[in-house]
Structures are given as C-alpha cells and as structure tokens.
Structure 1
Amino acid sequence: MTIPAADGFDVLNVVGRYFQFCDAKDWDGMRSLWADMVTVDYGGVLPVEGQVEAETLKRTMADAIDPIPLTQHMVTSPVVTVDGDTATVRLHLEALHHHPGLGEDERSTNWTLYARNAIGLDRTPEGWKVSSEKMTVVCQTGNKDFVSELTDLVTGRS
C-alpha cells in the first residue's frame, strides 16, 4: 500500500517531536500532540494503563520523568502505515535514564530500556494526534530497580 508522502512525513514528525518533548520535559508540548483521550500500555513501566485523559497522562509523565536529570529516547526503524484518517508508527526504542544521585557507578545510576512501540495517530483538524501507544519491553540493562530507587530518593525513603 502506498501512502501519501506528506502523511508519512507528518506522522513521523509528530512521533519525533513526541520523544524530543519527553527528553526536554516539555509536558505542554507533549500534551499538544495527544488526542483528548489516549489508550496506553507502557508494559508496566509507567503507572497508567488503558484509556486515559490527556491531562492525566501529562501529569503521570511529568511525575515519572521530571526527577530524572537525563533521559534520551532514541527511535529507530520506524515504519508508517496510513489508512485514511488513522496511522500507526511501529518503531524500536532505546531509552536511557540517568540519575547521579543513585550511586557511584553507572550500574546504579543508569537504566536503559529497549522496547518495541506501536503509536496510533488520528487525523484531526489540528493535524495528526497520538491516540494510542503500546510499548513492549524487550530488554533492560543497568539498574533494573531504577524507578523504585528513584522514588525512594525523591520521597526521602531509604
């Protein structure tokens, strides 16, 4: 199936901005890319699943990622399918997370998540909007307790 080049470019641009905004911690920017309701499955990595209001998703993302000084989400092998006013981008994701307060070496300060994502988008009068995301975790390296240890650090628990 051939997709119009403009649609493919526009959809990939939304997905690229999505991860750029995430690393910049630009939650208003991310919110601008989402439909009002988004169906999500982050493979247990984030504490949200199912159909979620975009404002709730924005707060969840901010709460989870703001405390991490460095994240870098690298997207590879994106494949776009467009069917009328819906699109899907399937991609591979490598997500580095770093917090120097978690220890003395990279085994404790770094966590890298490898996943396969499927991001669904709908065409709206304002442009393409993310309407769903499913992340399937493939592998993790580094500190696999990063999230719980970061929570303990941020809340002062030991």
Structure 2
Amino acid sequence: MDPSTLDAFDAVNVIGRYFQFCDAKDFDGMRGLWTDVVSVDYGGVFPLEGQVEADALKRTMSELLGMIPLTQHMVTTPVVDVEKDSATVRFHLEALHHHPGLGADTSATDWTLYARDVIGLRRTPHGWKVASETLRVVHQTGNTDFVSDLARLAAE
C-alpha cells in the first residue's frame, strides 16, 4: 500500500474512532485522539471556540454530551489530504441527539444537526492526533435550542 494511502486510511480511522467514542461517552478515548491543544470552531453550537487545552475540551464534552442519553454521529464522504506530517479530513456529518427529559414529543427531545466538518490532524510518535476541528452547520431539525435546554435542565 502506498504510504499516502495508508496515512489517509489512518486519518479517516481516527475520525471514525472520534465519533464512536463520542457516542459511547468514552471521553478518555476521545482525549487520547487529541493533541494537547486543539483549535476548535463548532459554528456556535458548542460552547467552546479557539485554542482549547485538550483536558478542558474533554471536561466540556463530558459535561454536555455526557448528559445526553442518545447520540449518533454519522460521517459520510470523507476526503483526505495529506502533506508530510499534517492531514486534513473533510466530511459531511449528521448528528442525532435525543434526551427524553426535555419534553413529551420529538420537537423538544430530538435535535438533528447536518454539517460540513473539517478536522486537521498532526502526525505524532503515537499516530495521528486531532489538532483542529471546524464545524459548519448547513441544516437543523427538531429542537434547535437543544444545547441551551440541556443547560436549563442541568441547572434544575
């Protein structure tokens, strides 16, 4: 296998693990996939932006995503560019979020986010690590106030 093909495969595999860990609520696993500082821009749907220490990102992910009983992140059409020790993976993301404590029907309990995502990776002695993520929302269905409703629920 050509080295660049293997690098592309490995980079996509990191993305797959990232969202599998997210849905399994394995925040230690997620932390293991990040560089020590990650540049993040979640397009306004997540309360972090800029250069974030990985441990702070893990803490915020576990606080927010940990309260959601069901998430399912589906990654499609990944395209990988590799240049030396950097890789960029562009893909479409569909992310379902469900919390039965937010109401009696799916207009309150469910939020599906459709986005274009770009994850930058850096080669390390321990393999590819996520160094950046930029999420651009293209469409949403269900409860578009889901994140703020979760914060309200947590405060109650």
Q: Same fold (TM over 0.5)?
A: yes
Deviation at 1:99, TM superposition (A): 0.5
Structure 1 residue identity aligned to 2:51: Q
- Per the alignment, residue 15 of structure 2 pairs with 15
Q: Is the 8 A contact 1:3 1:81 kept in 2?
A: no
- Per the alignment, residue 151 of structure 1 pairs with 151
1:131-150 map, 5 Å: 131-150=131-150
1:1-158 map, 5 Å: 4-156=4-156
Q: Is the 8 A contact 1:123 1:129 kept in 2?
A: yes
Deviation at 1:146, TM superposition (A): 1.1
* TM-score, length of structure 2 as denominator length: 0.96
- RMSD over aligned Cα atoms: 1.1
| SS of alignment partner, residue 75 of structure 2 | strand
Deviation at 1:3, TM superposition (A): 6.6
Any gaps of 5 or more consecutive residues in structure 1?
A: none
Any gaps of 5 or more consecutive residues in structure 2?
A: none
Deviation at 1:149, TM superposition (A): 1.4
* TM-score, length of structure 1 as denominator length: 0.95
Mapped partners of 1:34, 1:64: distance in 2 = 18
| SS of alignment partner, residue 133 of structure 1 | strand
Deviation at 1:154, TM superposition (A): 1.7
Structure 1 residue identity aligned to 2:79: V
Mapped partners of 1:131, 1:147: distance in 2 = 24
Q: Is the 8 A contact 1:3 1:82 kept in 2?
A: no
Q: Deviations over 1:92-141 (max 9, x none)?
A: 00000001111111111100011100000000111000000000011110
Aligned length in residues: 155
Moved more, 2-11 or 113-122: 2-11
